[in-house]
């Protein structure tokens, strides 16, 4: 997991919760969409949290302080719907913990009660708890290995919801496809409106290429311009997951042919 602060004053003054930017690490780089986790309009910076999964995120991870990225364009997509919904459960998983932060901040300001759920493989992948504490009425953690909070994964969610006095009025999920799909499945049975922030493969991010298409409520939508937020109960998750995986073989090829990289993580800490 990596945190990247990019100086880009115009985007920093424009970006809203739920929006994303498209970044290219270098001139040969792939264009990848990344959610914005925080920004400072005064300093003109935006903050991104991302997970290293392949060639392009790997190149981003190797950047050092003061380096430039070839592309950072945005803010793209529509912003999260902010309103007074009552109690909102905000679930952030892995890199989605970061992008949940501005959403929670604004929902809190709008008068909502916030129940924060942070999900990750292990406790060292949970971050920004100090930011969430003052904004949340309750905080729950779920870790795969049980090193913090509930042990397991999103299947523990009903336990959390059942433990509350009243179920939340709305659930917002940011994170990997697995997390969003599973939360949607769980909450569908509970009848709680669930908003997901989709993260498909994209190229231009302006509606031009259509690679990010997704079936929502039986209709074809482009996540970049119609989304990225959709009703999780309406998304065709099987199709979405298959489209996300389209280039898995090619990513594997990258790992096979790439030079061994310097160790940038040790003991859960970034060494760069």
Cβ distance to another protein smaller for residue 14 or 121: 14
* Encoded tokens for 268: 């859960």
Question: Which lies closer to another protein via its Cβ, residue 130 or residue 249?
Answer: 249
Q: How far apart are CA 202 and CA 223, in angstroms?
A: 9
From the CB of 216, what's the least distance to another protein, in Å? 11
Question: Whole-angstrom Cα distance, residue 129 to residue 215?
Answer: 34
CB atoms within 10 A of CB 94: 22
The whole-angstrom separation of Cα 41 and Cα 4 is 16
CA dist 187 to 119, 154, 181, Å?
Answer: 16, 11, 10
User: What are the tokens at 227?
Assistant: 């989304």
Q: Report whether 86 contacts 169 (CB < 8 A).
A: yes
Q: Which is nearer to another protein, 10 or 159 (CB)?
A: 10
CB of 104 to another protein, least distance (A): 24
**Least distance from C-beta 184 to another protein, angstroms?**
18
Q: Measured from the CB of residue 210, what is the shortest distance to another protein in angstroms?
A: 4
The residues near 138 (Cβ < 8 Å, ≥ 6 apart) are 115, 116, 164
| Residue whose CB is less far from another protein, 110 or 242 | 242
Taking the complex as a whole, the smallest distance from the CB of residue 27 to another protein amounts, in Å, to: 9
User: Binding residues for another protein, per CB under 8 A?
Assistant: 10-11, 14, 24, 28-31, 55-56, 59, 70-76, 203-211, 213-215, 220, 225, 236, 238-239, 242-243, 246-247, 250-251, 253-254, 257
Q: Cα dihedral sign for 268, 54, 102, 23?
A: positive
Q: Which is nearer to another protein, 75 or 92 (CB)?
A: 75
């Amino acid at each position: 997991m990596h945190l990247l602060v990019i100086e880009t004053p115009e985007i920093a003054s424009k970006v809203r919760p739920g929006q994303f930017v498209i970044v290219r690490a270098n001139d040969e780089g792939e264009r990848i969409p990344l959610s914005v986790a925080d920004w400072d309009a005064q300093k003109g910076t935006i903050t991104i949290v991302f997970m290293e999964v392949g060639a392009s995120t790997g190149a981003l991870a190797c950047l050092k302080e003061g380096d430039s990225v070839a592309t950072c364009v945005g803010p793209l997509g529509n912003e999260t719907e902010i309103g007074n919904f009552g109690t909102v459960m905000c679930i952030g998983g892995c890199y989605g913990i970061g992008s949940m932060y501005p959403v929670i901040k604004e929902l809190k300001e709008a008068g909502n009660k916030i129940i924060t759920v942070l999900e990750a493989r292990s406790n060292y992948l949970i971050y920004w708890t100090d930011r969430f504490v003052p904004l949340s009425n309750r905080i729950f953690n779920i870790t795969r290995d049980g090193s913090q909070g509930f042990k397991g994964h999103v299947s523990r969610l009903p336990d959390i919801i059942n433990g509350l006095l009243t179920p939340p009025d709305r659930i917002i999920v940011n994170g990997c496809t697995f997390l969003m799909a599973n939360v949607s499945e769980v909450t569908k049975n509970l009848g709680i409106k669930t908003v997901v922030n989709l993260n498909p493969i994209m190229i231009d991010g302006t509606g031009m290429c259509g690679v990010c298409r997704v079936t929502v409520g039986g209709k074809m939508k482009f996540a970049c311009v119609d989304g990225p937020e959709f009703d999780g109960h309406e998304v065709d998750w099987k199709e979405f997951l298959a489209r996300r995986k389209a280039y898995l073989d090619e990513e594997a090829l990258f790992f096979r042919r790439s030079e061994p990289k310097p160790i940038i993580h040790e003991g859960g800490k970034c060494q760069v």
